[in-house]
Amino acid sequence: MKTLGQAVSPEEHTLESAIREAALFGGGAGAGYAPVSGGISNSNWRVQLASGRDYFVKLPGNGTEMFIDRKAALDASQKAAAAGLGPAVYDDLAHHGIEINDFIPDRRPSTHADFALRDLRMEAMAAYRRMHGLPALGLTKTVFDMIDEHEAQMRELGSPWPRDTDWIKLNDRMAREALSASGLDLVPSFNDPMPGNFMIGGDGSIMLIDYEYASMNDRCYDLGIWFGEMFFTEEQEAEMIEEYFGKVTPQLVARVTIHKALADVKWAWWSMVQLKVSRLDFDFHKYGMWKLMRFRSITGSPSWATHLRNA
């Protein structure tokens, strides 16, 4: 770990200023810090005080204010913490958009391999039920809103568009019409199921971290985006839909699948925005193209038309 005064990079200088300013850190005397790997939006750090207390500090990534509402993220983090679903969160530097949480060393971030285990999949579904049962969040932002927001940003930034954009937008429009016809089921939604955001305890329990994309959204979006992120089989997805809803119906399968496809468009367009604004060392173009490949595989399947009818 580095100590105050050893900063070299711009991010380290910003972090040191934050450590000195936060009342929680008492001026930062004797504090050490080190980067935390993972995440493709922000700069993440572990801060250890002379007392031995550990904290997680998130510095906003360049341009993230375009699609992250930090006040809404704090609201979601506080409600999740109050429910025991997320770690304690502190608002010392919220006016800077900087998030401070308790560091949770007794838990580890999940991997895709973890959710090959049925018990952990079911524990994650229980975490989603708790998330969806939180008090209403202050921000309503559906996947429709997310896609529209990123498309406007792409036009403004001059981001690259895939050659089959018209075909993607056609399927996007059909998906929206199908879902809207039966109405959206808005609940507090996590919206960001990167494996590292599921923190697993020694007892197999799961805590969720990173609520910066959380909003009121359709519950099937939350399930669909996670199912897609983990590459579950159709049989596994059906099992988890039954675990969550108590039944499996063609409509539930359809709504989860359609939301899975829309999630890939959202994150593909997000990647094209990040390509223009982010300073992180990450191949956003490759990430976005991979998302679109999966979108094409879902919408190009013979079952796509059936899902649209069943939604």
- Alpha-helical (H) ranges within the chain are 10-21, 70-82, 118-132, 143-157, 165-182, 219-230, 234-245, 250-277, 284-299, 304-310
* Residue that terminates a domain, selected from 64, 82, 103: 103
Task: Tell me how far apart the alpha carbons of residues 236 and 304 are, in angstroms, rounded to a whole number.
Answer: 19
> Do 174 and 83 belong to one domain?
no
Please tell me the total count of domains within the chain.
2
Of 103, 138, 166, which residue constitutes the final position of a domain?
A: 103
Mark whether 67 and 119 lie in a shared domain: no
The reported pLDDT for the residue numbered 39 is: 77
Residue 122 shares a structural domain with residue 98: no
CATH code of the domain covering residue 42 = 3.30.200.20
- Residue 115 shares a structural domain with residue 31: no
Tens-place pLDDT, residues 73-132: 999 999 999 999 999 999 999 999 999 999 999 999 999 999 999 999 999 999 999 999
Boundary-marking domain end, from 46, 76, 103: 103
Q: What is the pLDDT of residue 222?
A: 97
Find the mean pLDDT for residues 133-139: 98
* C-alpha span between 287 and 281 (Å, rounded): 13
Q: Domain containing 236: what range?
A: 108-310
pLDDT-derived band at 27 (thresholds 50, 70, 90) equals: very high
For position 37, what pLDDT does the model report? 86
Shared-domain flag, residues 259 and 276? yes
Residue-wise pLDDT for 257-289, tens only, equals 999 999 999 999 999 999 999 988 899 999 999
pLDDT tens-digit series, residues 203-261: 999 999 999 999 999 999 999 999 999 999 999 999 999 999 999 999 999 999 999 99
CATH of the domain at 199: 3.90.1200.10
